[in-house]
Copies of this chain bind each other. A is one copy, B any other.
Amino acid sequence: MQDKSEVILKLNKLKSVSGSHSPSIETLKQLIPEIEIEIDACFLSNPYATDFFMSCLEDELIKTGKLREILEFYPPQNRDVAEYVSSLIQLPTNQIFIGNGAIEIIQAVLHNFVSKKLLIVLPTFSSYYEFIKEDCEVVYYQLKKENDFILDVDDFLNFVKTNEPDSVVLINPNNPNGGFFDKKTVVKILDNCPEVGSFIIDESFIHFAIENNDLINESAQDLSKRYENLIVIKSMSKDFGIAGIRAGYAIMRSERVNYLLKNGYLWNVSGLSAYFFRKYSEPDFQRTYEILRRKYIAETRQFMLELEMIKPNIKVYPSKGNFVIIELLNGITSRFFTMNLLLNHNIYVRDCSDKVGLDGEFVRVASRSFDENRKIIDAIRIVQNL
């Protein structure tokens, strides 16, 4: 690359107009064609599942020419797609709402089922406070750095009791740090929060937290039978690396699903998203996916262990997501670290300097394929020593 300072200027400008999210790879490449990204470690997904889904799509839609039907005609309506999910997770269709990505569900829930006071745990996924209604108050519960950003459940429950929010959001595992609590803890929390009208649990990363076969039972989804206030939000972009397709779903009580469908969301699921959910519900597809999911988890754990061994200039925080936050301890900034990885090693990681509730110099690094993870580790080993 000829002139890095010019690229840095362009990147700074781009970031300033992209809001609180990283610019997409497509936007990046289009606006700064001279940039080379070999590894996108901003992007939180299981690349093996993407390979697998793309091979299904290749065989079933592209080779057969059926892709045209999927793109040409109106997609099935929300409820028809919910049938697919229902058959997989064994919950009634009328409790399932399909979203154009989880982000659409977050918006729908914040605008329809959150009243006056929302409790959010920091650090968090910024859309949860960015998309609230104008007249909604937000109270923040800060995860403690000295506690490695792990949720202290009793302290948290006290905070809820004191603040009396009508709605609460918990992300499990949390984004951006990956802190996780198990289903027993979820039950304890829900048992202690009957006054909360909407208890939102975002499980977008739970496929990476549970190593055994029993993913569906260890999710909070089936607790919706017991807790009327529970709303579970699930992105599929992370598990399958299909962020461009826009697929997510939520579990909530049936009156709430009805209310949303009465107000819109008629054809919010694209043809390809409907195709994805159909495949996802097929037992054969599930079997192969389970193998790839656990392979990726095993590699992710190993990746994190190796990152932890790079001492003493960086600290790796505990995570059950498919990513870690890394604190830079030797005085270099997260901006310098991120730019250096990008311009000298062609690796794109998330600079967390704009993350509210994450004070210090932090970056977030996603686990990618086995080979890519090797390169990420080698590059970080070099950059943290500069």
Contacts and interface: CB of A to CB of B under 8 A. Distances in A.
Interface of A: 18-19, 21, 24-27, 40, 43, 45, 50, 54, 57, 62, 67-77, 80, 100-101, 103-104, 106-107, 111, 127, 130-131, 133, 237, 241-246, 262-268, 270-274
Contacts of A19: 77, 266
A243 B26 contact: no
Contacts of A27: 76-77, 80
A262 B40 CA distance: 27
A265 B19 CA distance: 13
A77 to B, nearest CB: 7
Contact of A244 (B71, B130, B246): B71
Given A270-B270, A272-B270, A73 B43 contact: yes
A138 B61 CA distance: 44
A75 B111 contact: no
Given A54-B71, A242-B71, A26 B267 contact: no
Given A24-B77, A27-B76, A73-B26, A131 B272 contact: no
A264 B130 CA distance: 8
B265 A245 contact: no
B24 A268 contact: no
A74 B270 contact: no
Given A103-B267, A264-B131, A243 B77 contact: no
B26 A244 contact: no
A354 to B, nearest CB: 15
A29 to B, nearest CB: 9
Given A68-B54, A75-B243, A111-B263, A100 B103 contact: no
Contacts of A270: 100, 244-246, 270, 272-273
A72 B272 contact: no
Contacts of A26: 69, 73, 75-76, 271, 274
Contact of A24 (B54, B67, B73, B111): B73
A107 B264 contact: yes
A271 B50 CA distance: 15
A30 to B, nearest CB: 8
Contact of A43 (B74, B246, B264): B74
10 contacts: A26-B76, A71-B244, A72-B241, A72-B242, A100-B104, A103-B268, A104-B264, A244-B270, A246-B268, A272-B272
A80 B28 CA distance: 11
A78 to B, nearest CB: 11
A106 to B, nearest CB: 8
Contacts of A71: 54, 57, 242, 244-245, 272
A302 to B, nearest CB: 23
Contacts of A107: 263-265
B243 A74 contact: yes
